[in-house]
Amino acid sequence: MKIHGHSTYEPQSGFTRWLDKRLPIVRLTHDSFVAYPTPRNLNYWWTFGAMLALCLVVQIVTGIVLAMHYIPHVDFAFASVQRIERDIPYGWLIQNMHAVGASMFFLAVYIHMFRGLYYGSYKAPRELLWILGCLIYALMVATAFLGYTLPWGQMSFWGATVITNILGALPLVGESIQVWIRGGGAIDQPTLNRFFSLHYLLPFVIAGVVALHIWALHEAGQNNPTGVDVKKKEDTVPFTPHATLKDLFATSLFVILFAVFIFYMPDALGHADNFIPANPLQTPPEIVPEWYLLPFYAILRAFDFNIGPIDSKLAGVLAMFASIGILFVLPWLDTSRVRSMRYRPIARQFFIIFVVVCVVLGWCGGQNPGRILVPATFSATLNWTQGGQVIEQPVTSQGAAQWDEAEQAARASLTEQGAGMTAVQRAGADRGTATGVIGGAVQTRTVTAHSVDELEAQINGVTEEVGQSAPFFQVERRIPFTFTVTTLSQIMTAYYFLFFLIILPILGLRETPGRVPDTIAKPVIGGEEAGAS
Amino acid sequence: MAEAQAGAAHAEQETTRRDFIYIAAGSVAAVGAAATIWPFVAQMNPAADTRALSTTEVDLTAIEIGQQIKAMWQGKPVFVRHRTAAEIASAQRDDFANLKDPQSDAERLVQADGQAGRPEWLILQANCTHLGCVPTFVEGSSFGGWFCPCHGSDYDTSGRIRRGPAPRNLDVAPYVYLSDTSIRIG
């Protein structure tokens, strides 16, 4: 429901009266940020919008300055960023503000989004408000990815290579899209040039969508921690000074954290490899995105198996896009009519697990996917024959199709001659050599290891030790199920999607909401103005 | 009079001149919009000078047996490997091993014009078919070939995928022998 009906703005001077008749911009500002009624029970989780607005301004202002000194050329990009850091007056400060600013932007947006999830701010009548927010987030991800390429370090180059390769996984059009985006066969000058152009453009698109986001917010009115609609004027306080000062205080704390990073650990959130200039001939030992994209990277890599006709690579790509795409339809997935999880005792527990899952996914994204989390024992048994008399005979078959028969026949013939063990080495489609050993002592050895690589090394070690004199190796490998980072990512990815696709839709229909306290359900405060919420 | 006629025609749901003009104008506008968008989308495709870099010539005399160089072709690295007799033998022996992407060593040596290659020279695109990293030679490989440090794909001495997440063998770069001692890639 709308409470702010008529504008309460009254121009005080002759000039503002003149202006108000022609361009009522002061009236708009007054109605939006001064008189705008805001629920009196908003808590500090509602202050992140202000921080995000600040972040966008900081990124645009510092970015415009950086663009005055940055050179989008493969030979000069890396050096120009170093020059900004060292030679440009206050370049170090502005460059650090921009780089750290990206991380702070994402930190704030994640808290802002979790706030929306917890208090049901995406439900009617705020669906479009939420979708516009999701759109802003998607644009932020794209902008951050493009911007990360610009310093042209190793991680910039290889991150861009991996992500554009991912697009190549799309069926039919994938390869054309990949070449179209890169402007060539590989990440090179055309790519850097266009990424710079688009990185400059997108923040202004974001600013435009932010304007729509705020418009939609002011039309539907703010949600509040109880999720109960504001019912009358007494439930609200004017935006200024109440919300303004509260936002200012919270933003000050945020700026202090921002400053701590800028001045004391500007590179703590980046990757050391990005201080190595891009080299298309050498891949860094591991390629990881910035911390704020790690959960999606974990989802991408969780798919190491094919799903029917969809191969693992494409499945990962689809899941990664779906994990953001699903947020757009959330208003229609959550069937509960209760907004705030304060009054949804079961949903709240699933929500807390969801937050933990997102953090764990982030951790997984930064780990080597093959890393074994639960120690397992890999073992192999090797059999061979020591001594004895080796006999050899050629094997030939009519064609490749008859090879198995010929092999069986050769083995049988050797066994008839008294060979204890036989082996066949194929040299071509229809020829090979069968060897057998008569007599000799059968030797057995078992090796154990903690990983596949270690096991193979052990087997190779034994092979070398025993040498060529005993070629009758039979290696029986026992590879147990191993719980790796990938396994963990798979479980976490499953929860991520289950939360939206199964838990929220079903829980909303079955859950009994908690009772709304009388202090909320019934107005206890009279008509008079109380202090800040 | 004319208005009255138009009104009557409209009431009878007949097609009027105005309907025709709307549809015609709309169609022309749609074609115009598409024709305008086209160049703005197409400009992002590889430029003529980028496409002109599509061939690279490599002199083979400088590469000793057991050595490999990385040549740049269309901005991408290409392995030009001078294989040892042991590597060739191992590659040919494994033609019938259990392969994820079955291909014989001889098939991987075929030149772009369809003629057979020479076993000692293996010309491969140096990007892992998983996500495009550049594999290292021998270091870490259990098959004596290439090993990708990113996600652990392991290739043999013919560049065939033997273990790990990569879906395909290392792609063979299209090449032809210009003479006994030089090749052209692309």
Point out the residues of B that are catalytic.
151
Which chain A residue's Cα is nearest to B92?
A: A427
Q: Is A477 on the interface with B (CB under 8 A)?
A: no
Residue with tokens 């740049």: B72
CB A122 within 8 A of CB A128: no
Which chain A residue's Cα is nearest to B126?
A: A281
Residue with tokens 């190549």: A168
* pLDDT of amino acid A529: 46
Angle at B53 between CA B52 and CA B56, to 5 degrees: 130
| Residue B149 to residue A284: CA distance in whole angstroms | 8
Q: Is B102 on the interface with A (CB under 8 A)?
A: no
Provide the whole-model pTM.
0.86
CB < 8 Å to A429, chain B: 96
The answer for A441, left when phi > 0, alpha when psi is -120 to 50, beta otherwise, is beta
* pLDDT of amino acid A1: 35
CB A314 within 8 A of CB A170: yes
**Inter-chain touch A162–B133, beta carbons under 8 Å:** yes
Which of A180, A184, A282 shows the shortest C-beta gap to B75? Answer: A184
Size of interface A-B (CB pairs under 8 A): 85
The one-digit pLDDT tens for each residue of chain A (533 residues) are 344 457 889 999 999 999 999 999 999 999 999 999 999 999 999 999 999 999 999 999 999 999 999 999 999 999 999 999 999 999 999 999 999 999 999 999 999 999 999 999 999 899 999 999 999 999 999 999 999 999 999 999 999 998 888 888 888 898 899 999 999 888 999 999 999 999 999 999 999 999 999 999 999 999 999 998 888 888 899 999 999 999 999 999 999 999 999 999 999 999 999 999 999 888 887 888 999 999 999 998 888 777 878 877 888 889 999 999 999 999 999 999 899 999 999 999 999 999 999 999 999 999 888 788 988 888 888 877 777 777 788 888 777 777 788 888 888 888 888 777 777 777 666 777 787 877 777 778 888 888 877 887 787 788 777 765 555 667 788 888 889 899 999 999 999 999 999 999 999 999 888 887 776 666 655 544 444 44
CB < 8 Å to B70, chain A: 281
Q: To the nearest 10°, the Cα dihedral for A163, A165, A167, A172? A: 180
**Closest to A151 in 3D by CA, of A315, A356, A290, A292:** A290
**Closest to A106 in 3D by CA, of A340, A365, A294:** A294
Q: Is A407 on the interface with B (CB under 8 A)?
A: no
Render pLDDT for B31-48 as a digit per residue (tens, 0 to 9).
999 999 999 999 999 888
| Residue A99 to residue A109: CA distance in whole angstroms | 16
HEC string of A255-322 equals HHHHHHHHHHCCCCCCCHHHHCECCCCCCCCCCCCCHHHHHHHHHHHHCCCCECCECHHHHHHHHHHH
**Inter-chain touch A312–B167, beta carbons under 8 Å:** yes
The Cα of A458 is separated from the nearest Cα of chain B by a number of Å equal to 12
Using CB atoms within 10 Å of the CB of residue A169, give its burial: 0 to 12 exposed, 13 to 18 middle, 19+ buried: buried
Q: Is B168 on the interface with A (CB under 8 A)?
A: no
**Of the candidate ranges B41-45, B160-164, B176-180, the one whose mean pLDDT is the lowest:** B160-164
Q: Is B75 on the interface with A (CB under 8 A)?
A: yes
